[in-house]
Structure 1
Amino acid sequence: MRLLHRASPWRSLFADSEFPDPSRLPPLLAPLRDALTELGPAPTLSDAHAWQPRLVAALMRLDLPAWRISQLISDHNDWLYHRAIQLAQSEMEGQGWGPPPVAFCVLIMGSGARQESLLAPDQDNGMIIADYPDSRHTEIDGYFQSLGERFTDRLDRAGIPLCSGHVMARWPMWRKRISEWGEQLAIWTAERRTKRVQQANILLDFRPVYGEVALAEALADRVARLLPKAGLFLDEMGVLLDELPVALDRFGRLSGSLEGVPHEHAINLKRQGLLPLVAAARLLSLRHGVRVIDTRERLAALVVKEVLPESRCRALTAALERLQGLLLEEQCRVLGTGHGADSWVDVSRLGEDQRMLLRLDLQQIRRFRRRAKRG
């Protein structure tokens, strides 16, 4: 099994502050060239976000696999974050706030951090601030509170909505000094309390998206030291896996939750497919000191750690990729009808072969979830 992940040239697509010049793209990439031409050279945040489904359609025409498209959606969202933060900082300097008073780092969390974004995510972000004296708290935190409010408002107006659970840098809970983040993690992981595990679960998949990367690396070091020793905390995390059942009945047939279901043939494939797999991979990775957060890389690292057999890793990676593909295709189809993208998949539209593969994939995920609970 290949466990070395070489950088793909596709990942440089949104690495710069400006989008690629479409005139420089070869004819082989005509769908992407046409999409970039349609966007224009200097899009607003709103235009750039609204263009994302057009980008996905172009990448699908180029036969990129869904997992790679998901990475590129994540890269595109990173670009939107960069631009929103830069605009917010520029506005603050123009209003006399001056430059940031100390170093800081904006984190992106959840699927964006794992580089597994689909269409229509909301915001999940936080902020690490370099340590400063308590006597300067009002001055310094006031700056970063304003910055957090401004860039999250910009993203909201652009089409990435504010998080309904308030997981954003605009709130003190998710905006702390690096030492305070360390103390918070120690408190969350010290005991077996459901609420604390749920809050920590949100944080534990994070990645720096803007600012001083060393602050994020320091927080990741703290996680790596604390979590493998936090047995009671990890046990409770395993119990919480039961809150993410896969979309199968006890006979192994497709059966989704009735909560919020838009019609009888709909399954929330994110909540009852992707998230159980992601959560199980996170739990095993934390137990065994795996530091990567991309689910594909976590599964591969668990093989290296001799936690998973290679065959199980291959099956779960294939299941992940197929679920991402089904969700992306359904989101594009729904957007084409004029409705908003969500996480529901109409299984009546799937062929018999697709339904059979989906059942097999969900069975693999259910077994993996049981494996993760055992430790």
Structure 2
Amino acid sequence: LSTCLPNTAIRDAFQTMSRDNVGSLVVVDSDGESHGLVTFRSLAERMVEPGVDPARESVTNAMQPAIAVANDTPLWQVEDVRERDRCKYLVVTDAGRAVGMLSQTDIVRELRAHQSGPHALISRAQSYEELAQHFHQIDSIAAQAQETNRRAQAAVRILSETHLAIQRRCVELTLDEHEARGHGRPPIAYALIIMGSGGRREMMLDPDQDNGLILEDHASTEAIEIDAWFARFSDRLNSNLDRVGYILCPGDIMARNTMYRKSLSAWKTQITSMTLRPNEKVARWSNIVFDFDAQYGDEALAWEMRAHLNGELKNNAGLLKLMMEDDAQGRAPINWFNQLVTTDRPDGMEIVDVKRNGMRIVANGARILALKFGIGACNTSERIHALVRNGILSRDFGATVSAAYDELLDILLTHQLEQRHSGTPLDKEVAPQALTAPAREALRVSMRAVKRFQERLQSEFGAGPF
């Protein structure tokens, strides 16, 4: 642990951080009790203020409060504290004395370490049959992630990263297979992108395929040969992913479809055209495809496409408004008295579609607002936090929406794990009466927050309640 005393000069604190190769110092007294911390940023901001002499100025004038956790605090609770207080560093204490420091990076690295076992096995799989076995173990991975992570968003992130690890290994095996058949390696740079829940890292137990290809721009004289290579590869890849367990997309949003396999310039042209001449069909398409992220290959191609998308939407809000109206076709199941409204199934069961009437509304709203304000994050929770940081949502409202989304994820994941255990086909329809009283109340409160968020989105575009 790197520390300094309260009377340490700013210049000396800088030298200590450089020597110890750390980004922060805990300010402690002679008894080792923490008084706060300083970072490179807080010191630099103090140094540039008029009249400040770094050789004389005390670090206490650049100090920020230190959020402390006891050394026996469970990791999930540490992450909850960091998330709640929006802090990058946490001071670890033992009987009140500072004994260590945890950064956001440390926490993420440790959480990922719990996934390293299955991921290592996946990366060594030598056949599609082996990958299919890993796919069929997804339920146990999901259950363990849910048990060891109090926040459902963290559990779903682990589940998603496992899905993506399986899919990436499938890409590698397909590339090897393609080469072994005499087709050679990829002729140009490319990025395989994943869209929808995969792009947001919010995949559940049985996601289908939503993928595409961004190809490096190339000469027209090479187009026929290059297109033929990637057409064969895409067709094989989509078939292999289906073989592993990721069913073909019912809407054919897959790389084998030429609409989702094109050069970077062609993607940009399509995006520009859609923002200039939006319609309802384009809006619905955008609510899926715009949640894209690089899954394999040259990530720079995906970043450039994202930058182009944000630039085009900056001055053309018409498409975003249509996306908002498409989102409004789903309604939070809450009446004027803030009570849950259920739907009757043919079998007489009263249900709530947690995804369509809850999670999807939050994900759509966070996407639309993020795109409007040029926020590059794809994950719903990260988008909400970015909207709070940028002053678009209040801290309290952002926390309420994020907590509601987390609750809905937990309810749906629990519901689907129970269906798998009983051998029932998976769905997103939860029967409130089958829940415990606390879970039923949590569902009601969460849907109320969903309704308020949808109203906030509509007000952003000058629309009244639908």
- The TM-score with structure 1 as length reference comes to 0.89
Q: Which residue of 2 aligns with 1:209?
A: 295
State whether structure 2 residue 375 is matched by structure 1 residue 274: no
- Select the structure of larger CA radius of gyration: 2
Alignment map for 1:195-234 (pairs within 5 Å): 195-234=281-320
Q: Tell me the CA shift for residue 229 of structure 1.
A: 1.4
Mapped to 1, the partners of 2:125 and 2:287 lie a distance apart of 39
Structure 1 residue corresponding to 2:338, chosen from 244, 252, 258:
252
Is the 1:120–1:342 Cα contact (8 Å) retained in structure 2?
no
Q: CA deviation at 1:222?
A: 0.6
Shift of 1:180: 0.4
TM normalised by structure 2 equals 0.72
2:112 aligned with 1:11? yes
1:346 is displaced (CA, Å) by 2.2
Judged with a 3 Å threshold, the aligned counterparts in structure 2 of structure 1 residues 216 and 262 are, in CA distance, closer, same or farther, namely farther
2:209 is aligned, of 115, 120, 123, to 123
The aligned amino acid for 2:179 is E
For 1:116-161, what per-residue CA distance to the aligned partner results, in whole angstroms no more than 9, with x for missing partners?
Answer: 1111111111110101122222211111111111111111111111
Matching residue of 2:280? 194
Equivalent residue number for residue 312 of structure 1: 397
| Cα drift, residue 70 of structure 1 | 0.4
Which runs of structure 2 are paired with 1:1-375 in the superposition (5 Å)?
1-2=85-86, 4=88, 6=105, 7-12=108-113, 19-20=119-120, 44-257=130-343, 263-375=348-460
CA deviations over 1:172-231 (Å, ceiling 9, x no partner): 011110000000100111123111112222211111110011111111111121112112
Query: 1:329-372 CA distances to partner (integer Å, 9 max, x unpaired)?
Result: 11100000112322121222112222222111111111111111
Distance 2:238 2:347 in 1: 30
Question: Which structure has more strand as a fraction of its residues?
Answer: 2
What one-letter code is carried by the residue in structure 2 that aligns with 1:200? Answer: S
- Check 1:242–1:345 CA distance in 2 against 1; reply closer, same or farther (3 A cut): same
Counting matched residue pairs gives 356
Which protein, 1 or 2, shows the higher relative CO under an 8 Å CA cutoff with sep ≥ 6?
1
Following TM superposition, by how much is the alpha carbon of 1:66 offset from its aligned partner in structure 2, in angstroms? 1.5
Letter in 1 for 2:415: E
- The AA in structure 2 aligned to 1:226 is E
Cα drift, residue 60 of structure 1: 3.1
CA-CA distance at 1:101 after TM superposition: 0.5
Matching residue's letter, 2:119:
F
CA distance in 2, matches of 1:368, 1:308: 10
Q: Cα gap change, 1:266/1:150 in structure 2, threshold over 3 Å: closer, same or farther?
A: same
Q: Distance in 2 between matches of 1:236 and 1:77?
A: 32
Q: Residue type matched to 1:142 in 2?
A: A
2:232 partner amino acid: S
* Structure 2 residue runs without a partner (length 5+): 1-84, 89-103, 461-466
Evaluate the alpha carbon distance shift between residue 278 and residue 229 of structure 1 in structure 2; reply closer, same or farther with a 3 A threshold. Answer: same
**3-state DSSP of counterpart to 1:126:** strand
Distance of 1:105 and 1:239 partners within structure 2 = 31
Equivalence for 1:32: none
Q: Could you tell me how far 1:64 is from its partner in structure 2?
A: 4.5
SS for the counterpart of 1:95 is: helix
Deviation readout 1:86-120 (Å, 9 max, x if unpaired): 11111111111011000011111111111111111
Contact 2:216 2:301 in 1 (8 A): yes
Change (3 A) 1:13 1:81: farther
1:28 matched to which residue of 2? none
Shift of 1:80: 1.4
Q: Residue 96 of structure 1: SS of its match in structure 2?
A: helix
Moved more, 1-10 or 110-119: 1-10
- In structure 2, distance between residues paired with 1:248 and 1:323: 14
Moved more, 309-318 or 149-158: 149-158
Identity %: 28
